[in-house]
Structure 1
């Protein structure tokens, strides 16, 4: 049995834990709780929770148009628990969701491409990004 369980839905996310996880990233460490809460309210939220402590140890969001594409974002696992299957379980849960299973998935990653390749994501040179204004 795994030491963690996958959780789904905004109501099951622990906002303090999500913010602490995001603070460990290069892409979201500057976000305010207000920004993140708004983003989460308009996304499908996933996480992993430690069975022993009940503490949330991972987070991911999915944004979709329901017909063609989903955007996988904010995937983060507690740094001390990486390489223990948490991220894999999170991605497997997301990718088997009937809402996303047959859609094209996109994501932005500068350093985890080998991890996402295991789930069928491929590098593309067609992408462009317009950065958000720093608040």
Structure 2
């Protein structure tokens, strides 16, 4: 199966993103659909992965940024039947290395995809990093 990646926000299929994030993601399930719609609309960048034959969205990533120096990568996923096609790697590469933020300091949180992100230079935070957990 062939896939295409695109950073055009108009191509994002919010129903697909909501379906996966609200049922499959271990993170952010406290969000409502309205919250997710607001996050997508306010994203600095979004990347989608799509089947070339049908245009169906099968992957997603979004980033929040000041557009100058720092960006936060969030909500990266590939729907199960389409995994093992390097789509996660390709989406992260398009978002980070091939995009306008390639020189930024990038931040993310993950509990299970360290190997993917280490390929893009992510590492445990240094002594200057602090995080205030959600309340």
Matching residue of 1:114: 115
Gaps (5+ residues) in structure 2? none
Where do residues 16-95 of structure 1 align in structure 2 (5 Å cutoff)? 16-23=15-22, 24-43=24-43, 44-95=45-96
- RMSD of equivalent CA atoms: 1.7
Q: CA deviation at 1:98?
A: 4.4
- Distance in 2 (alpha carbons) for counterparts of 1:57 and 1:29: 19
Query: Given the two structures, how large is their TM-score scaled by the length of structure 2?
Result: 0.88
Residues of 1 paired with 2:6 and 2:132: CA distance?
A: 30
Measured in 1, the distance between the counterparts of 2:19 and 2:81 equals: 13
Deviation string, structure 1 residues 71-91 (Cα, Å, up to 9, x no partner): 100111102222211111101
- Secondary structure of the equivalent of 2:123? coil
**In structure 2, the residue corresponding to 1:100 is in which secondary structure?**
coil
Give the whole-Å Cα distance in 2 for the aligned partners of 1:104 and 1:17.
Answer: 29
Runs of 4+ in 1 over 6 A off after TM superposition: none
Alignment-derived partner of residue 5 in structure 2: 6
Alpha-carbon contact 1:21-1:58 (below 8 Å) kept? no
Which of 81-90 and 119-128 deviates more?
A: 119-128
Instruction: Count how many residue pairs are aligned between Structure 1 and Structure 2.
Output: 131
Q: Which runs of 5+ in 1 are unaligned?
A: none
